[in-house]
Chains A and B, each alone.
Chain A
Amino acid sequence: MNTNTIIRETENGLFPASKVMLDLKDLKKIYPTPKGDYVVLENLNLQIMKEEFVTIIGHSGCGKTTMLSMIAGLNEISGGNIAVLGKYIKGPGPDRGVIFQSPSLMPWMTSLQNVLLGVKQVFPHATKAQRNDIAKYYLQKVGLEDAFYKKASELSQGMQQRVGIARAFAIKPKVLLLDEPFGMLDSLTRGELQDILIEIWNKEKITAVMITHDVDEAIFLADRVVMMTSGPKAKIGDILNIDFKRPRTRKSVLEHIDYYTYRKHLIDFLEH
C-alpha cells in the first residue's frame, strides 16, 4: 500500500543527517512580559526531510506562527537552534521563501514587478530578459498569464495570493514556509489555490512547511502532519504520516480508505 519513498525514523528517533533539510533542536521562545517571562515554545524538536511537505496544525495561539517566523529568521530564537542543511540560520534570507497569510504584495507594483523584486535579488547576474522569463514562467504556472502588468492593488485577494506563490517559488528557496496562506480565502478559491500550489510543488519538490487550521487541507497536501500542543510551552504533540501516493487528486484522496482514519486522528488530537 505504501508507495511513498519517504524515509522514516531510524531506531534512535532521528533521521539520517544526509536526508535532513530543516532541523529544529530544543527550540525555545520566550516573550518577556511585566509579569515575568511568557514561554511560548519549549523543547521543540522537529526534523524535516528534503523534498518533504509538512503541515503543522494546532490551536490558535499555540505558537505555530512564532515557530514559522523563527525558521524564516524574522523572529529571534530564545534558545536551541535551527539549521538548514546542517548550517545554523542567522536572520532571514532568500534560502527560506515565505508565503505570508496576507499576500503582502507591494500594491504600487505590477504582479510581474512583485515577482521580479525577489528574482533580481537571487539571480543578480542574470540578464533582464532571463529574469523576466523566470518571473513570467512562475506567474504562468499560477494562472496569471493575463495579469503580468496589472497593479497588485487591482487584483482580487485570491489572485494576489497567486502572485505570492509565484514570488516564493521564483526565488528557488531551499525551504518554503507557508503561514496559513489560504486562511483568508473563500473555500472555492482555497481549493483552486491548493491545487495550484501542489501542482507547482510536484514539479519543484521544494521542502515545504505549512501552517493550517484546516484538517482536510493538512491531509491533502502533506507527507506528514505535525500536531502542536496548546501553549504556553507548546511542543510537538504528535506526528501523523500521510501515506497517499503522489501526485494526488482531491478525489483520490477523499476516496481513500485511510482518509477518515487520518481525519479522525487529527480531530481527536485537536479536541483532546
Chain B
Amino acid sequence: MAQNIVLKENKKKLILFKPIEIIFKSKLSKNKLLLSFKKTGVTLVSILLFLMLWHFGSQALYNKEASYKINKALTEQGKVAADAERACIYSGKNSCQPNTLPSPLQVWTSLQLLIADHYVIKADKKVFEEQMFATNKALIAKGKNKITYTGRPSFIDIVLTSIKTVFAGFLLALLIAVPIGIIIGLSPFLKSAFNWFIQIFKPVSPVVWYLLVFMIVKTLYIGNNSDNAFVISFISVGLCAMWATLVNTAMGVASVDKDYINVAKVLKLGTFQKVFKIIIPSSLPLIFTGLRITLSVAWMVLIAIELLAQSPGLGLFVWEEFQNGANDSNSKIIVAMFVIGIIGFLLDRFMLSIQQMVSFNKNEGI
C-alpha cells in the first residue's frame, strides 16, 4: 500500500513533465527504452508516410492541372501556344504555375518566408518608432494619442492576435459560465428557470453569435472611433464556447457525492462553507473538463469569427490569402492550417495537465 501511495505522488508531480519523465525513466530500464524507441519510431514512420502521400498527391494534382492548362492552350490557341505554356510551366516561372494543393516543400519554403518576413516587418517597425520618437513624445506631452505603426502585421503578429483573442474569449466564458453553472447546479428551481435558455442557445452557430454580438457592440461603439474588431471577436468566441463549461459545472455541482453532503449536514456547515469547501472542490474535475472543451471549441470557432469580424488573426489571414490567389497563397494557407492545429493541440495539452492536477482520486469504496 505504501508503494502505491508513493507511485501516486510521483504521478501527480510529474504529469506536467511527462515527456521528460519518459526519457529519464527509460534510462533506468532497458525494456522501457526499447518501448519508447518503438513508439517514437512508429510516429516517425507515420509522419514520413503522411509526407509521402501528401507529396505524391500534390504532384498528381499539379500534373493534372498542368496538362489541363496545356490542353486548353492547344485547343484554344494552337500548338505554338501550347508549347510555350508547357515550357513556361516546366521552367518554374511564377506567372504560369498551376494553382493547386502545394507540396510539403513549398509549404516549408512559405513558412520560412513568413518568418523572414516577420523580421523585416519588425525592423521596419523599429525604424518607424525611432523616427516617430520625438513626435510621439511631443504628442503625449500635449495629451494626445501617439502615432502607432499601422503597416501590415507579420505572421507571428497574426498568430499572437489569435492567441490573445482566444484567451480573452476563454476568460469571458469562464467568468460567465462557471458562476452561473454553480448557481444553476445548486438550485433545481433556477435550473428550470435557465434550462430553456441553455437548450435553445447552445446549438446556435458561431456565425450567428458573431452577428448578434456585432449588432450590440456596433451600437455601443457609436462615437468611439477605436477598432472594435477585437472586442467583437473575443465576445463572440466566448459566447460560442462557454456552453460546455456551463453544462459541466452545473452537472458537477448537482451531482456532488451524497456522503460529502451528509458530512456537511452533520457538521452543520454554513451555506458559504458548504459551497466553497465541499461542493466546488468536489466538482472541480468536471468544471475543468468543461473548460478544456471550451478552450478547444473557442480555438475552433475563432478562425471563422476572425474572418467575419475582420480581426487581424489567423482566420482573416487564411481568408485573405485565399482571396489573394497569389502563387504562394495556397502554401501559406497550409502553413496556417498546421499552425492552427499545433496551437490547438498545445492548448488542449495545457488544459489537460491542469485538469489532471485538480482531479483527485475519486474511488469512494476502496
In the complex with contacts A154-B5, A156-B1, A104-B267 CB distance below 8 A = no
In the complex with contacts A108-B282, A171-B267, A102-B5 CB distance below 8 A = no
Is there contact, CB below 8 Å, between A94 and B266? yes
CB under 8 Å from chain B, chain A span 87-110:
91-94, 96-98, 100, 102, 104, 106-109
A72 is contacted by which of B8, B259, B266 (Cβ under 8 Å)? B266
Is there contact, CB below 8 Å, between A151 and B360? yes
CB under 8 Å from chain B, chain A span 52-86:
72-74
CB under 8 Å from chain A, chain B span 244-284:
257, 259-260, 262-263, 265-269, 273, 277-278, 281-282, 284
Q: Say yes or no for B366: interface residue by CB 8 A criterion.
A: yes
CA distance A262 to B361 in the complex (A): 43
When distances are taken between beta carbons in the complex, the residues of chain B under 8 Å from A73 are: 265-266
When distances are taken between beta carbons in the complex, the residues of chain A under 8 Å from B8 are: 153-154
Is there contact, CB below 8 Å, between A93 and B266? yes
When distances are taken between beta carbons in the complex, the residues of chain B under 8 Å from A156 are: 1, 4-5
Q: Say yes or no for A118: interface residue by CB 8 A criterion.
A: yes
Q: How far is the CB of B165 from chain A (nearest CB, A)?
A: 33
Q: Say yes or no for B19: interface residue by CB 8 A criterion.
A: no
When distances are taken between beta carbons in the complex, the residues of chain A under 8 Å from B76 are: none
The interface on chain B, measured as residues whose beta carbon lies within 8 A of the other chain's beta carbons, has a size of 27
CA distance A98 to B267 in the complex (A): 9
When distances are taken between beta carbons in the complex, the residues of chain B under 8 Å from A2 are: none
A117 is contacted by which of B259, B267, B364 (Cβ under 8 Å)? B267
Proximity string of chain B (5-29) to chain A, C-beta cutoff 8 Å, 1 when within and 0 when not:
1001100000000000000000000
Return the chain A residue nearest B8 by Cβ.
A154
Interface of B is mostly: helix
In the complex with contacts A153-B360, A154-B9, A92-B365 CB distance below 8 A = no
Q: How far is the CB of B270 from chain A (nearest CB, A)?
A: 9
CA distance A150 to B268 in the complex (A): 25
Return the chain A residue nearest B278 by Cβ.
A106
Is there contact, CB below 8 Å, between B262 and A94? no
CA distance A200 to B268 in the complex (A): 24
Q: Say yes or no for A12: interface residue by CB 8 A criterion.
A: no
Is there contact, CB below 8 Å, between B282 and A96? no
Is there contact, CB below 8 Å, between A106 and B361? no
Q: How far is the CB of B10 from chain A (nearest CB, A)?
A: 11
Q: How far is the CB of B253 from chain A (nearest CB, A)?
A: 15
When distances are taken between beta carbons in the complex, the residues of chain B under 8 Å from A109 are: 281
Is there contact, CB below 8 Å, between B364 and A92? no
Q: Say yes or no for A157: interface residue by CB 8 A criterion.
A: yes
When distances are taken between beta carbons in the complex, the residues of chain A under 8 Å from B262 are: 74, 92, 98, 100, 104
When distances are taken between beta carbons in the complex, the residues of chain A under 8 Å from B1 are: 156
Q: Say yes or no for B362: interface residue by CB 8 A criterion.
A: yes
Q: How many A-B residue pairs have CB under 8 A?
A: 73
Q: Say yes or no for A5: interface residue by CB 8 A criterion.
A: no
Q: Say yes or no for A121: interface residue by CB 8 A criterion.
A: yes
Q: Say yes or no for A184: interface residue by CB 8 A criterion.
A: yes
Return the chain B residue nearest A113 by Cβ.
B277
When distances are taken between beta carbons in the complex, the residues of chain B under 8 Å from A171 are: 267
Q: How far is the CB of B129 from chain A (nearest CB, A)?
A: 50
A102 is contacted by which of B4, B259, B265, B267 (Cβ under 8 Å)? B259
In the complex with contacts A102-B364, A102-B365, A184-B365, A92-B266 CB distance below 8 A = yes
When distances are taken between beta carbons in the complex, the residues of chain B under 8 Å from A117 are: 263, 267, 269, 277
Return the chain B residue nearest A100 by Cβ.
B259
Is there contact, CB below 8 Å, between A97 and B366? no
Is there contact, CB below 8 Å, between A106 and B365? no
In the complex with contacts A157-B366, A184-B365, A106-B260 CB distance below 8 A = yes
Is there contact, CB below 8 Å, between A107 and B263? no
CB under 8 Å from chain A, chain B span 217-234:
none
Return the chain B residue nearest A121 by Cβ.
B267
Is there contact, CB below 8 Å, between B282 and A97? no
CA distance A107 to B256 in the complex (A): 13
Is there contact, CB below 8 Å, between A118 and B267? yes
CA distance A122 to B268 in the complex (A): 9
Is there contact, CB below 8 Å, between B259 and A94? no
B266 is contacted by which of A97, A106, A155 (Cβ under 8 Å)? A97
When distances are taken between beta carbons in the complex, the residues of chain B under 8 Å from A157 are: 366
Most buried by B among A73, A107, A117: A107
When distances are taken between beta carbons in the complex, the residues of chain A under 8 Å from B266 are: 72-74, 92-94, 96-98
CA distance A192 to B282 in the complex (A): 30
Q: How far is the CB of B261 from chain A (nearest CB, A)?
A: 9
Q: How far is the CB of B54 from chain A (nearest CB, A)?
A: 46
The 10 A-B residue pairs with the shortest CB-CB distance in the complex, in nearest-first order? A153-B361, A104-B259, A107-B360, A92-B265, A156-B1, A108-B360, A153-B360, A121-B267, A118-B267, A108-B281
Pull 29 A–B residue pairs with CB atoms less than 8 Å apart, ordered by A.
A74-B262, A74-B265, A91-B265, A92-B262, A92-B265, A92-B266, A92-B268, A94-B268, A96-B266, A97-B266, A98-B266, A100-B262, A100-B263, A104-B259, A104-B262, A106-B263, A107-B362, A117-B267, A117-B277, A121-B267, A121-B268, A121-B269, A153-B8, A154-B5, A154-B361, A155-B5, A156-B4, A171-B267, A184-B366
Q: A100-B263, A150-B5 are in contact. List 14 more A-B contacts (CB 8 A).
A: A92-B265, A96-B266, A97-B266, A102-B365, A104-B260, A106-B277, A106-B282, A107-B360, A108-B282, A121-B268, A153-B360, A156-B4, A171-B267, A184-B366
